Amino acid sequence: MTTGLNRALAHRLSPQARQRVRRATDRLTTGVGSLKGCRTDTPVVALTYDDGPDPEGTPAVLAALAEAGVTATFFQLVERAEQYPELVRAVLAAGHEIGLHGIDHARLTTRPIRQASGWLVEGRARLSAVAGRPIRLFRPTYGAQSLRTYLAARQAGLLPVVWGPSADDWRDGDPAEVANRVTTRLGPGEVVLLHDGFEVPPGDHTPRPAFDRGAVTSALLDLLAERDYTATSVSGLLRHGAPWRTAWFRP
């Protein structure tokens, strides 16, 4: 009954009010919290890209970011990084940062915890080898994370990074429409979820979206500028305030 009442009240709150409630409750879970952004009133967000490197999407995104003079964070799949090491080097050469997204795009929470722990250690080592520098950030595929996989990531020397506003860019649409999905849920200090690649589960035949991912990035940066927001990487975002952590556990 209480849960139902809370949900009903939540639906009546404005997006801004729901954000304030989340920030208040997240302060109680900082001990087991994944990074969700920073606590700031400055209109700044972090742009993060998953599922790359991709020979089509990554160069387009890099070009759009370079034109705007913006840095971002790319959460990469090890198997793709090893297949396209030149794209890993291009991301780093442009001043962006790289985090681990997985060896492949399998859901970590479906693995026995000992296997998941080994997978995290191996994934970090292999991606660090391609990048030529230590990898410290981690974005779980599908956002799937249990307390045990969270602790395994921390033990592997990785900081889980989750997200707030999302472009839902696994769904097709006009670039401006896709970008606008982010700005309808925007707040200072948020981590924005985007993709420079496209991965689906085995057996899933969802077609690859036809839009240009660089065009989505350009459209989003224009919308952010209209709202007096600036964009940066995850590390850049943390220069604007204390880390905002949340207890993020999903199957």
Which residues are marked as active site?
50, 195
Query: Cis peptide before 53, with omega less than 30 degrees from 0?
Result: yes
* Pairwise CA distance, residues 155 & 230, whole Å: 33
- What are the beta bridge partners of residue 138? 100, 160
Q: How far is CA 144 from CA 76, 126, 237, 239, in A?
A: 16, 21, 23, 27
- 158, two tokens: 């990785």
Residue 83: other Cβ atoms inside 10 A: 12
Please give the structure tokens belonging to residue 112. 């026995």
